[in-house]
Structure 1
Amino acid sequence: MKTHPHAPGGRVSNETRGGDLTTVEILWLEKRIENRIRFGRPVTEKVLDRNRRLISFAPGSTFAFVRWTSNDFGTVLSRVDILRAVAPGQRYSTVPWITPGGESLLRLSGWPKVERVLRLIDAVEALGIDPAEAAPDHWHHVHNRLSVNETPRPYTRSRHQAWLHRRRVTS
């Protein structure tokens, strides 16, 4: 784990506020590499060229980052990370393509597990809930259960209401 380069409690000018953001490089090279955001609410987006973009998230934002890479012989990597963007001074895990990194809520690789996570994200959306607003504990639970090839408990509206209530009470 690393610590965000800005000191906690330090004054940050408007010019350096961009340094407080978590930035993800989105890359698409046909039939070779696909990095994409599955959910989350970016605060900025910068197009670098027709294949690359930079998307940034505010501290505390939750987002899903999906990576896929192949070569002439087939898929080399399938991975999904669900992360929470860090604030200055918070600890974080480094993740390729993400600067500085993020608090890892879920990290799974291999297409069968990635596909299951994508279906679970779809199930949360089917409830009318933005997955970025789902309880972070749910994504930890999904990570833990899928890591040992078990079925995670479904996210429900009542669990979501309990999370929203807990968040209001502890804020």
Structure 2
Amino acid sequence: MNNGPGYPRPETLTEVDLVWIEKRLQHWIRFGRPVRDDIRDRRRRTVAFRPGSVFAFVRWAANDYGTIRSRIDILRAIHPGEPCQTVPHVQPGGDLLLSVNGWPKVQSVLETIDAIEALDIDACDVAPEHWRHLNHSMRANIAPRAYTRLRHAAWLKRREIER
């Protein structure tokens, strides 16, 4: 890998191991902007994200009787030395914005992502607070606020000011 100008140093990246074993085990990225994608074999790859990047990591497993695990985590890749939560298959870990288990909840999050993208908003650019809000709303079993173009515009302005 080239580590010249414009290329991130490997030690600054957050790496995610992806797996695809048909009808048994699937780990995939629902959204995110990886800066590296290393194919290890026909079933496994590792993608890497720059610090500050937001991505959704979905894990699903099944046996002969059906689904035994489904989970979605939305994380922000951390900066070196920053505290983080550990998440299986994510190195070194990340700032966990949302984490839900069980297919009905995972499906609800996927539908929320679809609705945001239907507004022509890249889910990577959504305010991190919205993902936290969605996480807490789902845990409290209450309807979350919708993410709108107006909320997104306010977030983009705030992010610009904070830089």
TM-score range, shorter chain: over 0.9
Say whether 1:91 aligns with 2:115: no
Q: Distance in 1 between matches of 2:67 and 2:143?
A: 25
Tell me the equivalent position of 2:63: 71
With structure 1 as the length reference, what TM-score do the two structures score? 0.90
The unaligned stretches of length 5 or more in structure 2 are: none
Residue type of the alignment partner of 2:107: E
CA distance in 2, matches of 1:76, 1:69: 6
**Partner of residue 152, structure 1:** 144
Give the Cα–Cα distance (whole angstroms) in 2 for the partners of residues 117 and 92 of structure 1.
Answer: 22
Q: Counterpart amino acid of 1:84?
A: R
Pairing 1:52–2:49 present:
no
Question: Cα deviations across residues 8-60 of structure 1 (Å, max 9, x unaligned)?
Answer: xxxxx869910110000110011110000000000000000000010000000
Deviations 1:71-90 (Å, cap 9, x if unpaired)?
12221110000000001010
Q: CA offsets per residue over residues 137-169 of structure 1, 9 Å max, x none?
A: 000000000112221111000000000011111
Listed as ranges, the matches of 1:1-171 within 5 Å are 17-171=9-163
Distance 1:45 1:162, change over 3 A: same
Distance 2:126 2:64 in 1: 38
> 1:67-112: CA deviations, max 9, x gaps?
0011122211100000000010101111011111100000000011
Contact 2:8 2:50 in 1 (8 A): no
Q: CA RMSD in A?
A: 1.4
TM-score, normalised with respect to structure 2: 0.94
Question: CA separation of 1:16/1:161 partners in 2, compared to 1, >3 Å: closer, same or farther?
Answer: closer
Which amino acid letter does the alignment assign opposite residue 127 of structure 2? A
Structure 1: 5+ residue stretches without partners:
1-12
Regions of 4+ moved over 3 Å: 13-16
Residue 153 of structure 1: SS of its match in structure 2?
A: coil
